[in-house]
Every structure is written in structure tokens, then in C-alpha cells.
Amino acid sequence: MSYLAPTDEMKFLLRDLFGICDKSGAGTNLNFDDETVDSILDEVSRLTEHVISPINKDGDLYPASFEGGKVVLPQSFSKAYDAIAKGGWVGISGHPKYGGLGLPMVLTTCVNEILSSGCLSLALNPLMTQGQIDALENHASEEIKKRFLPRLNSGEWSGTMNLTEPQAGSDVGALSSKAKPGGDGLYRITGQKIYISWGDHCLSSNICHLVLARLSGSPEGTKGISLFLVPKYIPNDSGELMSQNNVKTISLEKKMGLHGSPTAVLEYDNAKAWLIGQENKGMAAMFTMMNNARLGVAVQGLSQSELATQKAFDYAKQRKQGKNLKFFENGSTAIINHADVRRNLLIMKSLTFVSRALCFDTAISSDLAKSNNDPDLLQRVSLLTPIAKAFCTDVGCRVTDLCIQVHGGMGYIEASGISQLYRDVRITAIYEGTNGIQAMDLVGRKLGSDGNIAYSIIKEIMINENMAVGRFPELVELVSMARKNVTKALDWMLSQHDLNERFSGARSFLSAFALLLGGNYMLRSILVSNDVKRKELAEFFIYQILPSASVEASISCQGSNQLYQSPGIFTEDF
Ligand SMILES: Cc1cc2nc3c(=O)[nH]c(=O)nc-3n(C[C@H](O)[C@H](O)[C@H](O)COP(=O)(O)OP(=O)(O)OC[C@H]3O[C@@H](n4cnc5c(N)ncnc54)[C@H](O)[C@@H]3O)c2cc1C
């Protein structure tokens, strides 16, 4: 079965659920007109269905390798990358002044979902570049922007993100890469970075690395980190590539999945570098890239959920096994008629819907925040980003796992191609900050001291409930119950001054909040549409998945007692 881009679903969410058309035009810089949305979605779907999806298996079967000092990729990747670059999809959100298309983030989100469903490994390349473009637009000097951005937007050059070192993973502040002024207005970087996605390849003529390093005499930890742009080849003022920089690929990692994406160990030895932003303010600049990439990774999770759901429905309609009392047939029945298979499919479908709504909500908030320069909306984006990253990638893992289950033994057999989805998506719960770190970010930082933004979202949900109560009283009662329990958990979190108490329940709190948002999106979907299928999906989610929000909310308030006051389990001899 071939992937079909879910453009009708995207249009429903954009227009009906989130009403983006009302948000464009007067008073904003946003352009959500019907024609633009339709043509973008149609074009990227065509490209993906015909050029990108067909190469997905190549990446899995013929992993990126390092031979004779060069990265070797499946041949088909080169043509597909060129098509992405030529289509303008790399610089879709980039500023038109530097060659970008200047389209809203929510359209980038749609494009990235479709490309990633086509081939997650390849689509990670432009995703990294997009994050870099965002970081440079916001923090680099005009001279740097002019030199680098047009070629990054066009995809002629690509971008990477270099944080991780052997001793500095989640703890970025532990990095030891060093920077020093070069006396020529540039800097010199020395150190080793590991696990760098698309750290070396030959799809683009240059690779620009955004590297975190510490200048001598800078404070310890994250306060003493600066951000640098280190190109593989050094460009002159007009962008011509002059000489090779002192950055060397040591090796590529062999991985569980995402085989088509080269994950490199890079060695910097006095490499020439441009400072981005101010000295010692690198984390703030890198956060622009990371926040952009975190939404991008949430979308990666979503993209695999969509793909897995399509494949599972298709298989379940064709595969015949056993009999079912509800369907009187002479021969065996299609497995889609069995209760357990139906449950799995409905879980997949509804969690995919919620993931997409959460990604769109985050992206639209980001578009409106930028366009209206609204600090409250910016805070909303900050709050939603870790929720989207962790929830959508956890869902990606769960839904691809269920896809294997629906396929039975065939799901475990490599020839079916189903296990690739599960292996590929697994990294999304780990990179760009593990999901545990996202949850800590949510309860430790993003809730703030007063929880204002979280409470205002809860208020929005109440308003929705009031609008829906006349038509769907039973569903509203369930959403309302979840809302009250999540509010109690939020009150509890904010009353904890010992952060470790909050951290102990952070993962559950994040799940509870995301599920509540899901209940709200479902409620809105049936308020704005009379489509019976939407009502069926909303009913399944609200009756059968949303109640777990209350369970997660209750767990999130247990604090650290069972984790720390029973140290016996953690002794060496247990
Ligand atoms: C395929 C792949 C691609 C990658 N691409 C890039 C890239 O392009 N650029 C880049 O810079 N990096 C990249 N990474 C690195 C990735 O971001 C890190 O692996 C990730 O941030 C986790 O760091 P770590 O592996 O050191 O795990 P660790 O930090 O050692 O974490 C191990 C476990 O401990 C938990 N943990 C750690 N610290 C804490 C804490 N303070 N509180 C609670 N729990 C904690 C984590 O949640 C995790 O469960 C990539 C990794 C892979 C595998």
C-alpha cells in the first residue's frame, strides 16, 4: 500500500478546527488564503507520493556508510533531495529577503509531516537546515545572514546542529569544545561532537554546522557557552567556496533505525568559525533552533503515526482470519471486524488526530505570536512545545508498535517493511532533548511560578465545554472530569517548591495535560463538523482514552516518596 498525504484532514484542521482563514489578513503578516494552502499541500503531496516515499526502503536497506573518507548514501537520495530543494521546501518559512518563501510555520508543519511520512531519514536533513535558518535569522549579524541564508534557504547548502559530546548529552553545559578568537574577526573551534545528524554527506555542496563551544575564561555550565557557525567549506563574501575547513568526519554510527540518515562523529581542529549572537549567550540562540526543531521532531512522530495508521487500516481490511459473531460470512472474516483489532485501529487513528491538532495548535500559536508580537502567545508556544515534542513522539512509538501488532507475524518480518516505522521513529523520543527532559522543562520552567498560561488554556477548554454541553452532555461531562483532575494536578505542581517533587511526576503530568488537550480538540471537531465519522472518533477517544488523563494526573501528584524513600531497590545487591 502506498502512502497518501492526508491533505483533506489537514485542511479540516486548518480551516474548520483552528479557523486559520479568520487569522490571516488585517493586522497580521500571515497568509493563509485558500489558494496558497491548497497549492502547497497538493504540490508537496505529489512530490512525496511520487519521489520521496519510493526511496524510504532504500534508506533502510542500504544504510549511510563511510567509505574512503566519504559518506555513501543510496543513489536515490540525491535525486529526492534535489527535488525537495528545487521545490523550495527547505526555505519554506525563511524570510523572503534571504530567499525563503516566508510562509507561516503551520504550513511548514504540514509540509514537514508529509515529507517525513515519505522518508523520515531524508526529511531530517531539511528539518535541521530550517532550524538553522531560524536561528541565524534571529541571532546572526546582517553580514552572516547575507553570506549564508540564501544558500541555506535554497538547499544548496545544508545545516546541522552540534551540541552533543561524549560527556555532554542531556547535560549540554558539560561540553568541553573550545573556542578562541582567531585575530581575523573569526574564531577557531577545537573539540569533538558526536551523534550529529546529517553531519556529513554529499547531497548539498556545503554543510554548515551550528556548534556550541566555550571561550576560555567563560563561566562553567550553560552560562559560558557561545554559538558558532562552522562551514565545511569556507565561503567568500559572494558565497563561493574557497577552501576546506578543519572539520573532519571520524565515523558514522550504526543505528537501530533511521539508517538513511548519516549520524556522524565530527572532529574540529582549529576550525574557522563565525560567532552567532554574543559571546556566552549561545544557549539562548541555540534554543531558537532547538524549539524549532522540537516542533519538527513532534511532527516526525506524527508523520510515522499517520503512515502506520494508513498501513494498519489497509492490512486489516485485506487480511482474513477466523470468524466474528457480528459478521455472518461463509469464509473467514477480515481482521478489521475483530474487536481487538478495531480497538487498536481506533487508538491509532484518534491519537494521530490529537497529535496533528497539537502540532498545528503549537505552530499557529507561534505564527500569531510572531505576527502580533504577543508575549502571552509566545509563552503559550513555550508551554506547548515540550508537550507536543514528548506526546507526539511517544504516540509515534505507540502507534508504530500497534501497527506491528495489527500485522501479526507479518509485522515482525522485515520484508513487510513495517518494522522500519517502529525502528525509525524510536529516536524521536530521545533526540532534541529526551522526553523525560521535556517533561522536566514543562513542570520546572514552562509552568512558571503562577501557571498563568496553563490556567488560561484550561479556561479555554471550559469555554468549549459550555458551548458543547447542550449538544453533547455526556462527552462534556467526561472532558470536564478530566479538566478538573488536571487542574488539581496543576495546583499541586505549583505548590511544590522542591523541584524534585515536581520532576517525580513530570512525565505523568505532561501526558495528562496532552490528553486533556486531546479531549478538547475532539470536542471542537464535533462542534464544527456534523460528519458522523468525526463524532465516532471523538466518542472513542473521550470514552476510552481520555479517562487515563485523570489517572496520569493523580500519579503526577504522588511526589518522590516511592522513588526515594525505598532505597532498597537501588542497592547493588537487589
Ligand atoms: C540518531 C541520533 C541523532 C542525533 N542527532 C543529534 C544532532 O544532530 N545534534 C546533536 O547535538 N545531538 C544529536 N543526538 C544526540 C541526542 O540529542 C542525545 O542522545 C540526547 O539528547 C540524549 O543524550 P544522551 O544520549 O547523552 O543521554 P543521557 O543524557 O545520558 O540520558 C540517558 C537517560 O538519562 C536521562 N537523564 C539524563 N539527565 C537527566 C536529568 N537531569 N534528569 C532526569 N533524567 C535525566 C535521560 O532522559 C535518558 O533517559 C542524536 C542522537 C542520536 C542517537
| The three cell numbers locating residue 521 | 480538540
Ligand 1 pocket test, pick from 427, 430, 442 with the greatest ligand atom count within 8 Å of Cβ, gives: 430
Give the CA distances from residue 393 to residues 301, 437, 443, 514, 556, in Å, rounded to whole numbers and listed in that order. 4, 13, 18, 12, 20
In order, the DSSP letters of 29-40 are -----HHHHHHH
Q: What is the pLDDT of residues 155-196, one digit of tens each?
A: 999 999 999 999 999 999 999 999 999 999 999 999 999 999
3-state helix, strand, coil in the chain (%, to 5): 60, 15, 25
158 lines ligand 1 (CB under 6 A): no
CA 234, 240, 243, 247 torsion: positive or negative? positive
**CA torsion angle 427 432 433 436 (round to 10):** -50
Q: What is the pLDDT of residues 89-103, one digit of tens each?
A: 999 999 999 999 999
| The three cell numbers locating residue 135 | 536561528
Q: What is the pLDDT of residues 190-222, one digit of tens each?
A: 999 999 999 999 999 999 999 999 999 999 999
- Give the distance from CA 361 to its chain's centroid: 13
Query: Going by CA atoms, what residue is nearest to atom 37 of ligand 1?
Result: 170
Query: Which amino acid does the sequence have at 51?
Result: V
pLDDT of residue 285: 85
The two most distant CA atoms of the chain are separated, in Å, by 84
Cβ atoms < 10 Å from Cβ of 535: 16
**C-alpha 91 – ligand 1 centre gap (Å):** 28
Cβ atoms < 10 Å from Cβ of 326: 9
Q: How far is Cα 162 from Cα 208, in angstroms, rounded to an integer?
A: 10
Q: How far is Cα 368 from Cα 319, in angstroms, rounded to an integer?
A: 46
Active site residue 465: no
Q: What is the mean pLDDT of residues 231-255?
A: 93
255 lines ligand 1 (CB under 6 A): yes
Query: Which 3 state secondary structure label does DSSP give 197?
Result: strand
pLDDT of residue 98: 97
pLDDT of residue 326: 85
For residue 332, pLDDT beyond 80: yes
For residue 28, pLDDT beyond 60: no
Q: What are the extents of the domains in the chain?
A: 438-566
Q: What is the pLDDT of residues 295-311, one digit of tens each?
A: 999 999 999 999 999 99
DSSP-derived secondary structure letter, 426:
G
Q: What pairs with residue 229 in β-bridges?
A: 210, 274
- Give the distance from CA 399 to its chain's centroid: 15
Cβ atoms < 10 Å from Cβ of 423: 15
Ligand 1 pocket test, pick from 195, 211, 266 with the greatest ligand atom count within 8 Å of Cβ, gives: 195
420 lines ligand 1 (CB under 6 A): no
437 lines ligand 1 (CB under 6 A): yes
Q: What is the pLDDT of residues 95-141, one digit of tens each?
A: 999 999 999 999 999 999 999 999 999 999 999 999 999 999 999 99
**C-alpha 463 – ligand 1 centre gap (Å):** 39
pLDDT of residue 572: 67
Q: How far is Cα 48 from Cα 83, in angstroms, rounded to an integer?
A: 10
Query: Which 3 state secondary structure label does DSSP give 57?
Result: helix
Is the pTM of the predicted complex or chain greater than 0.95? yes
Query: Which 3 state secondary structure label does DSSP give 336?
Result: helix
431 lines ligand 1 (CB under 6 A): yes
| The three cell numbers locating residue 550 | 485523570
Q: How far is Cα 472 from Cα 205, in angstroms, rounded to an integer?
A: 57
Q: What is the pLDDT of residues 435-479, one digit of tens each?
A: 999 999 999 999 988 999 999 999 999 999 999 999 999 999 999
**C-alpha 324 – ligand 1 centre gap (Å):** 46
Please, are residues 358 and 298 in contact by the beta-carbon 8 Å criterion?
Answer: yes
73 lines ligand 1 (CB under 6 A): no
Ligand 1 pocket test, pick from 128, 170, 423 with the greatest ligand atom count within 8 Å of Cβ, gives: 170
Report which ligand 1 atom has the smallest distance to the Cα of 434.
47
Active-site entry in 432, 465, 539, 552: 432
pLDDT of residue 574: 63
161 lines ligand 1 (CB under 6 A): yes
**Least trusted range by pLDDT, from 261-275, 285-299, 512-526:** 285-299
Report which ligand 1 atom has the smallest distance to the Cα of 431.
17
For residue 148, pLDDT beyond 60: yes
pLDDT of residue 569: 80
For residue 29, pLDDT beyond 70: no
132 lines ligand 1 (CB under 6 A): no
Q: What is the mean pLDDT of residues 31-56?
A: 93
Query: Which 3 state secondary structure label does DSSP give 28?
Result: coil
391 lines ligand 1 (CB under 6 A): no
Ligand 1 pocket test, pick from 124, 129, 164, 175 with the greatest ligand atom count within 8 Å of Cβ, gives: 164
Query: Which amino acid does the sequence have at 266?
Result: L
Report which ligand 1 atom has the smallest distance to the Cα of 253.
1
**C-alpha 147 – ligand 1 centre gap (Å):** 32
Q: Which helix (H) or strand (E) holds 369?
A: helix 339-372
Residue 434, burial from CB neighbour count under 10 angstroms (0-12, 13-18, 19+): middle
Cα angle 263, 391, 528; round to 5? 130
The mean pLDDT value of the chain amounts to 95
Q: What is the mean pLDDT of residues 36-40?
A: 93
Residue among 197, 192, 200 at smallest CA distance from 231: 200
**C-alpha 263 – ligand 1 centre gap (Å):** 14
Cβ atoms < 10 Å from Cβ of 246: 16
Query: Which amino acid does the sequence have at 363?
Result: A
Please, are residues 398 and 351 in contact by the beta-carbon 8 Å criterion?
Answer: yes
Please, are residues 126 and 115 in contact by the beta-carbon 8 Å criterion?
Answer: yes
CA 322, 324, 330, 335 torsion: positive or negative? negative
Query: Going by CA atoms, what residue is nearest to atom 14 of ligand 1?
Result: 195
Residue 371, burial from CB neighbour count under 10 angstroms (0-12, 13-18, 19+): middle
Q: How far is Cα 1 from Cα 310, in angstroms, rounded to an integer?
A: 9
Angle between helices 282-318 and 120-139 (to 10 degrees): 150
**C-alpha 397 – ligand 1 centre gap (Å):** 17
Radius of gyration of the chain (CA): 24
**C-alpha 435 – ligand 1 centre gap (Å):** 10
Beta carbons within 8 Å of 571's beta carbon, 6+ residues apart: none
**C-alpha 175 – ligand 1 centre gap (Å):** 13
Query: Going by CA atoms, what residue is nearest to atom 50 of ligand 1?
Result: 195
Q: What is the mean pLDDT of residues 314-332?
A: 91
| The three cell numbers locating residue 549 | 488523563
pLDDT of residue 418: 97
For residue 334, pLDDT beyond 80: yes
* Burial profile 385-416: b = 16 or more Cβ within 10 angstroms, e = fewer: bbbbbbbbbbbbbbbbbbbbebbeeebeeeeb
pLDDT > 90: percent of the chain = 89
Report which ligand 1 atom has the smallest distance to the Cα of 198.
8
**C-alpha 187 – ligand 1 centre gap (Å):** 27
170 lines ligand 1 (CB under 6 A): yes
Q: What is the pLDDT of residues 410-447, one digit of tens each?
A: 999 999 999 999 999 999 999 999 999 999 999 999 99
Backbone torsions φ then ψ of 274, nearest 5 degrees: -100, 130
